[in-house]
Structure 1
Amino acid sequence: MNDASPPPGNRQRATIVTLSRMAGVAPSTISRALKGDTRISAETRARIAALAQELGYTPNALARTLSSGRSGLIGLVLGPSTHPIYTEILHEAVAQAGERGMRMLMIHAGAGPIEDKTAEALLQYKVDGCLITSAELSSRAAAVCAANGVPVVMVNRVAREHGSAVACDNLAGGAELATLLMARGHRRFGMVNTSNPTSTAVEREQGFVQHLEQAGHKLMLRLDGQSTYDGGYEAGRRIAALPPAERPDAIFAVSDIIAMGVLDALRLQGIQVPQDISVVGFDDIPAAARPIYDLTTVAQPLKTMVGRGLDLLSARMADPDLPDESVTLRGKLIIRGSVRPAPG
């Protein structure tokens, strides 16, 4: 190790000044060399790079922010950590951002509208842009982001205020599920949504119900699944307790996590799926394909949604004057064993 290195028990973070002193060159030479500036000789660049590696030098992001006005950080606002869809989005966003050289700052917001303090936190960390995968911006929070030039892109949500959006075609997905269930001979339909649904859930229900009504059918039951497994389980218990003549023979739960709760409750009460009741969901989270659930659902194109979201965000970080844009991507109907076969 270089003799000028500090003792192991008294280490401080290496800086440009540290490297300058140890290499015997100006700080500006260190900075240029580490950026690969060819005005610095190859020998000097190699020597400085080796010294930087030895001392574990990393650029000071704060200093870079102060000098450039950009932090290189992308804010990621996630929904409830108990919902598997947000875990999937998190993994995809971090992976794709890393491939693009972006750094993610995760801010958990949970359910409900994004509060002003969340928007203020994004500004305090000086993020260059923000991906929001849950809830909706309040009017004031949207105004705060817009006034400070922070572009916002909603993923898996529809933008109501400032910002662009990338979402699955929830209306079409709901309609496809209605078509499937009617084609399988179902005529008594139930829905498990929430008492305070998001725009995403509202669209899924609208697509499903409107398609039923066009064919002359109506919902006979609508229950609150609270956007959770437990909520779905309680809804399933209530369905199972109904007399057979008053019980739907097909249930659409607006998310897979709700549908899984419904399935477990029905089976534990002795109701067979799909022989007695068919159950469908939406999202295609990994657990939906497990044999115990074998859930028919609509798969959201999460990888493409996140990629398009980052595309929209990058473009607006480069050119803040670009207009807001909404992108809708078609989901894919995945037919599994939770729906009974077609008649005959």
Structure 2
Amino acid sequence: MEGSTLIRKIHMVCPLCDRTHEVEERRRIATITIKGDKVSYEERFLYCVNADEAENEFVTGSMANENLLNARNGYRVKHGLLTSDEIVAIRENYGLSQVDLARLLGWGEATISRYESKAIQDEAYDTMLRLIKDNPLAALEFLKKNADKFSAMKRLEIRSKIVEKLDTYGKEFLSRQAFEAEYASFDTKCDSNGFALLNIDKLEAMISYIAEKVSHLYKVKLMKMLWYADSLSFKSSGLAMSGMVYRHETMGALPIGHYALMNLERLNVKEEACGDYDYMLHIYPTLDMDYSILTKADKKILDAVVEKFKDYKSKAIIDYMHEEIAYTQTGQGDIIPFSLAKEIRDFL
């Protein structure tokens, strides 16, 4: 029970001591080996105060399944695969059943059900899911290819749902494509991207999360805060948060594709006058942004960055960043390697 946190107390018949009493529901960070890889995950369990110390913990069947799913999702996150929740979100976004989505992609009918509950998809299947995640055109192509797997009525029903998404996602898809194109040379995990591939969903959530807590958030300041968030994440876990690559510029660290970044459709960016001729980009929170993609560790880091820099003016945060070893040991235009983030001043 050491290192665990109490969630609640449940009045029940305890299977360990065979008495009716309050049993503690607790959670902790546990480790498990999956496919030869050690993974950390949140584990829930029940604790009996009356049982012997060596036998005072137990789980229900549903808890065991949830714990195993959390562990498998931990493996997925570690290896850059979609989690079970993200697969559910893709399916629900198109209004499809598990069988419908499996047929759409040309898979066995039980495949999606397994991926949402227990099995871990391989990279090839993960890539196919990502193809349709934010691209209804790709979903339409799959529907054409696998049309024979549906009745005529079902095919029309699914097609209409996909077409509905085209209007919603058209501009967003194009803006994402432009930003992703900037990262075509960084499609493998390396020191330049903090061993994390570009994750636009997480990046959008990071930016909106910061904007909710910083009232006067402009582009220059945001770029530095993102670098600090990615660097602190790398320092603490060995993985950057967003997967962006940063260059050494006069105004501090700037991510590759920062112009395209500001054009992402889901970001709430407004051009505001600054003087008679100049304009600045003011970043506001995005309404209805889904922050579930951010882990507790992500939010802790973002909160620390906000607390540190929320009252800094742009010049002050630039000057502060200029003193980092990551900046002093790189030259103008150089990519700032995340290995230098180990030397960053820590304010977690």
Normalising by the smaller structure, the TM-score range is under 0.3
Q: TM-score, length-normalised on structure 2? A: 0.24
Structure with greater helix share of residues? 2
Higher relative contact order, structure no. (Cα contacts within 8 Å, ≥ 6 residues apart)? 1
TM score, norm. by length of structure 1: 0.24
Structure with greater Cα Rg: 1
